[in-house]
């Protein structure tokens, strides 16, 4: 039997079907057919695919403890009802929660470091960041994001960014970049 080694294994989700996915990186692609055969024989495996292109490799997203914490926390906010923080406070909007969950699903673990999620009594979500040389805040509504970040003495602010995964990732990358 040839010598080969697994470089990394991490869990993610298939983008179209949302099914759990395991991504395995090996030292030598010539070993992939053997690995594929072995994995196909395992119970519960629906599909085995090999990613070869650089473009597809870039799409790999590491998920871990921060993802789990944020998912659990946002789910708990989904239980809030009107009046959760005084008579004028509103339940957190379901569309906002769904969009946030979809966005962090596509966000690498390292970009989530330093961010804390809080509810906002307007029915929004608020993502708060305090890092070494930066502070930031993102208010997420059903359709837009209102945000600021202060970094290296410079302030960026926007009150009309569409709440899309792409825009969400762009903000996090700028704060961490």
Q: Which is nearer to other proteins, 61 or 147 (CB)?
A: 147
**Distance of closest approach, residue 109 Cβ to other proteins, in angstroms:** 17
Provide the pairing of β-strand 20-26 with 6-13: antiparallel
Give the x-and-dash track for 77-96 against other proteins (CB under 8 A): ---xx-xxxxxxx-------
Q: Is 145 helix (H, G, I), strand (E, B) or coil?
A: strand
In sequence order, the β-bridge partners of residue 6 are: 26
**Distance of closest approach, residue 13 Cβ to other proteins, in angstroms:** 25
Residue position matching structure tokens 């991504």: 23
Among 74, 123, 124, 176, binds other proteins (CB under 8 A): 124
Q: Which is nearer to other proteins, 4 or 80 (CB)?
A: 80
Residue position matching structure tokens 């085995």: 48
First-to-final CA distance of the chain: 44
Q: Which is nearer to other proteins, 147 or 163 (CB)?
A: 147
Among 9, 157, 162, 170, binds other proteins (CB under 8 A): 157
Q: Quick one: which of 86, 81, 125 has its CA closest to 104?
A: 125
Among 120, 131, 134, 142, binds other proteins (CB under 8 A): 120
Q: How far is CA 37 from CA 14, 45, 48, 151, in A?
A: 20, 11, 9, 50
Distance CA 104, CA 97 (A): 11
Q: Rule CB under 8 A: say whether 73 interacts with other proteins.
A: yes
**Distance of closest approach, residue 76 Cβ to other proteins, in angstroms:** 8
**Distance of closest approach, residue 126 Cβ to other proteins, in angstroms:** 5
Q: Rule CB under 8 A: say whether 168 interacts with other proteins.
A: no
Distance CA 72, CA 85 (A): 20
Q: Which spans of this chain sit near other proteins (rule: CB under 8 A)?
A: 73, 80-81, 83-89, 116-122, 124, 126, 128, 130, 135, 137, 139, 146-148, 150, 155, 157-159
């Amino acid at each position: 039997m040839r010598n080969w080694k697994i470089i990394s294994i991490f869990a993610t989700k298939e983008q179209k079907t949302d099914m759990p996915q395991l991504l395995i990186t090996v030292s030598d692609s010539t070993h992939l057919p053997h690995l594929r055969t072995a994995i196909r024989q395992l119970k519960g495996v629906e599909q085995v695919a090999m990613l070869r292109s650089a473009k597809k490799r870039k799409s790999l997203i590491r998920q871990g403890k921060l993802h789990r914490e944020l998912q659990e926390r946002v789910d708990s906010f989904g239980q809030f009802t009107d009046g959760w923080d005084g008579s004028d406070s509103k339940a957190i909007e379901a569309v906002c929660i769904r969009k946030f969950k979809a966005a962090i699903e596509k966000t690498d673990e390292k970009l989530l470091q330093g961010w804390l999620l809080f509810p906002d009594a307007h029915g929004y979500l608020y993502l708060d960041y305090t890092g070494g040389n930066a502070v930031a805040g993102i208010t997420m509504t059903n359709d837009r994001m209102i945000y600021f970040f202060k970094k290296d003495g410079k302030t960026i602010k926007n009150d009309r960014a569409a709440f899309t995964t792409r825009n969400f990732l762009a903000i996090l990358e700028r704060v961490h970049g």
